[in-house]
């Protein structure tokens, strides 16, 4: 039975939410961690605190399942049917899943209902549909078959900022290609992952093809990364932790690693850009959507000097529609930061920006009487230069850095002047400039005259230190979860 959002909120009030291991082995640890909601910092339930032994148990089951072939050898059409049934169950539980992400991550309920969950379900539907439409090749000699085989046991290590959606981005392509998957959700947001995995079993996904181990990164994530019998880890999270996975792989079995990491994405407004309502909405969404806890957040605004004053005036006016408030309130656009430590980090950047000489244009206030008190207004700083921390470092909170430029070359140089290369957007009416700039920016996704991460049909991932080894989304994601074999038939 699916719960309404009110029932989920009530359950949270009574501290009854739960996310545990889903390992097809009874010999698992019983330790738990309190789960708190960032909405008011109250305890809403518990999650299981996994150990390296739990990971080991899950890997043994996954390996045995993979070898048995129960999932891998199913026809792609059969896998498709099960995945479609799963997507339909998620659709039937949309409100419940949306409410779980809302209380767990402090995301505004309207976003969870209208953006996160529909995109999550669409991801499953899209990959389910692809299951029996992607296949190998035959070499022109007629003797060589080039086939894509599942990699084997796949660990997926997830971040907290889009809990359901990041689960979908990894689990859907990993499963349709026939792998045995072990999910490790972020410890701050395990609730929707737990419920979605339960629904997978209801739809008919075998328990040894999909398992979940909850708990801390240092325990569960590290154990997956270091395990000698995990064939691949697909990770989304910070660049700092992503780097650790490359070390884990190097020091263990050279497992494949794909990393989707952080960003410091530029938004460029050229002298010929139209500053209409659409442009303003897009710039504000890129900068502040999801409390800026968004890897592709357009956190640097590079603006031609001739457009700056008008743009800043319009952005200030546009921000009046961005309500800071309780995520339960359907009108709220900005909820709390995910946890106290992260709130402290973002407020530290507020102070550093002022100390480094940036000028506060709007915002900067903390709504400390609201719930947990970790609510930060969308904030814009002007006069941010390339050597300042606010220009270079991923804040992951609602702080937009404004820098002025005079020429196209200067704008491109500034856009590329960080260690990251996840996304970029820019505004111009000149088609020649549009092409020139799109090809000159070193980022995985470049949007022209709007902010977008693309959609499920288009690959998503980073250049430079924003990513490594592959792409999420699109048919391109399937490459992560398969390996290429040549079968040569001697004549």
Cβ within 8 Å of residue 344, ≥6 positions away: none
Tell me if residue 214 is catalytic: no
DSSP SS3 for 236: strand
Nearest to ligand NAD of 125, 260 (CB atom): 260
Nearest to ligand NAD of 131, 174 (CB atom): 174
Find the shortest distance in angstroms from Cβ 238 to ligand NAD.
Answer: 3
Tell me if residue 295 is catalytic: yes
Pairing state between β 379-382 and 399-405 = parallel
Return d(Cα 53, Cα 25) in angstroms, integer: 11
Find the shortest distance in angstroms from Cβ 259 to ligand NAD.
Answer: 8
Strand order in the sheet with 445-448: 359-362, 379-382, 399-405, 300-304, 266-269, 423-427, 445-448
- Nearest CA to 177 out of 480, 455, 461 is that of 480
Find the shortest distance in angstroms from Cβ 394 to ligand NAD.
Answer: 6
Return d(Cα 193, Cα 184) in angstroms, integer: 9
Which uninterrupted H or E stretch holds 303? strand 300-304
* CA 352 from centre of chain: 27
Find the shortest distance in angstroms from Cβ 234 to ligand NAD.
Answer: 10
Find the shortest distance in angstroms from Cβ 162 to ligand NAD.
Answer: 6
- The residue behind tokens 């900067």 is 364
Contacting positions for ligand NAD (CB under 6 A): 157-161, 166, 184, 186-187, 217-218, 221-222, 225, 236-238, 241, 244, 260-263, 295, 394, 396, 422, 462
Nearest to ligand NAD of 64, 246 (CB atom): 246
Find the shortest distance in angstroms from Cβ 306 to ligand NAD.
Answer: 32
* Cβ burial 315-346 (10 Å sphere, 16+ → b, else e): beebbeebebbbbbeeebbbbbbbbeebbeeb
Task: Note the maximum CA span of the chain.
Answer: 78
Return d(Cα 21, Cα 30) in angstroms, integer: 9
Return d(Cα 394, Cα 293) in angstroms, integer: 10
DSSP SS3 for 301: strand
Q: Are 405 and 426 in contact (CB under 8 A)?
A: no
Nearest to ligand NAD of 95, 187 (CB atom): 187
Token reading at 63: 């390996």
Nearest to ligand NAD of 237, 371 (CB atom): 237
- Nearest CA to 334 out of 380, 373, 398, 291 is that of 291
Nearest to ligand NAD of 178, 185 (CB atom): 185
Give the number of other Cβ atoms within 10 Å of residue 386's Cβ.
Answer: 12
Q: Which of 96, 111, 260, 408 is catalytic?
A: 260
Return d(Cα 429, Cα 105) in angstroms, integer: 38
Nearest to ligand NAD of 158, 191 (CB atom): 158
Find the shortest distance in angstroms from Cβ 39 to ligand NAD.
Answer: 18
Find the shortest distance in angstroms from Cβ 205 to ligand NAD.
Answer: 21
Nearest to ligand NAD of 199, 258 (CB atom): 258
- Nearest CA to 119 out of 134, 97, 143, 104 is that of 97
Hey, which residues does 404 pair with through a beta bridge?
Answer: 303
DSSP SS3 for 281: helix
Q: Which of 187, 295, 394, 408 is catalytic?
A: 295
Which uninterrupted H or E stretch holds 146? strand 144-150
Q: Are 48 and 32 in contact (CB under 8 A)?
A: yes
Nearest to ligand NAD of 197, 236 (CB atom): 236
- Cite the active site residues: 260, 295
């Amino acid at each position: 039975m699916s719960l309404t959002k009110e029932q989920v909120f009530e359950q949270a009030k009574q501290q009854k939410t739960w996310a545990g291991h889903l390992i097809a082995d009874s010999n698992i640890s019983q330790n738990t961690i309190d789960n708190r909601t960032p909405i008011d910092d109250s305890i809403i339930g518990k999650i299981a605190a996994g150990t390296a032994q739990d990971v080991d148990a899950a890997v043994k089951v996954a390996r045995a399942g993979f070898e048995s072939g129960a999932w891998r050898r199913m026809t792609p059409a059969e896998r498709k049917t099960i995945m479609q049934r799963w997507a339909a169950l998620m659709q039937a539980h949309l409100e419940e899943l949306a409410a779980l992400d809302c209380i767990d991550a402090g995301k505004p309920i309207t976003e969870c209902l209208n953006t996160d969950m529909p995109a999550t379900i669409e991801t499953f539907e899209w990959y389910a549909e692809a299951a029996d439409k992607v296949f190998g090749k035959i070499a022109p000699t007629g003797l060589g078959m080039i086939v894509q085989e599942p990699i084997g046991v796949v660990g997926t290590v997830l971040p907290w900022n889009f809990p359901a959606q990041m689960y979908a981005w990894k689990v859907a392509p990993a499963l349709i290609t026939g792998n045995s998957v072990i999910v490790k959700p972020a410890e701050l947001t395990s609730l929707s992952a737990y419920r979605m995995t339960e629904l997978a079993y209801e739809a008919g996904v075998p328990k040894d093809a999909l398992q979940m181990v909850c708990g801390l990164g240092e325990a569960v994530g590290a154990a997956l990364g270091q395990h000698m019998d995990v064939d691949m880890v697909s990770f989304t999270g910070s660049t700092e932790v992503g780097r650790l996975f490359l070390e884990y792989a190097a020091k263990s079995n050279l497992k494949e690693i794909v990393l989707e990491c952080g960003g410091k994405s530029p938004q460029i407004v050229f002298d010929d850009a139209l500053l209409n309502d659409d442009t303003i909405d897009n710039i504000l969404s890129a900068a502040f959507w999801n409390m800026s806890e968004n890897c592709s957040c357009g956190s640097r605004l590079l603006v031609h000097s001739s457009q700056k004053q008008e743009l800043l005036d319009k952005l200030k006016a546009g921000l009046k529609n961005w309500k800071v408030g309780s995520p339960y309130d359907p009108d709220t656009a900005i909820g709390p930061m995910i946890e106290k430590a992260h709130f402290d980090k973002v407020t530290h950047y507020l102070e550093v920006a002022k100390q480094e000489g940036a000028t506060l244009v709007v915002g900067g206030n903390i709504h400390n009487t609201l719930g947990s008190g970790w609510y930060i207004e969308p904030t814009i700083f002007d006069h941010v230069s390339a050597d300042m921390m606010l220009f270079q470092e991923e804040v992951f909170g609602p702080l937009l850095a404004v820098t002025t430029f005079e020429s196209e070359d200067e704008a491109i140089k500034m856009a590329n002047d960080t260690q990251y290369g996840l996304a970029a957007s820019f505004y111009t009416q000149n088609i020649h400039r549009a092409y020139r700039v799109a090809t000159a920016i070193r980022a995985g996704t470049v949007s022209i005259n709007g902010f977008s991460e693309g959609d499920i049909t288009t690959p998503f991932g980073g250049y430079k230190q924003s990513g490594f080894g592959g792409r999420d989304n699109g048919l391109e994601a399937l490459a992560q979860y398969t390996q290429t074999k040549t079968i040569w038939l001697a004549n």
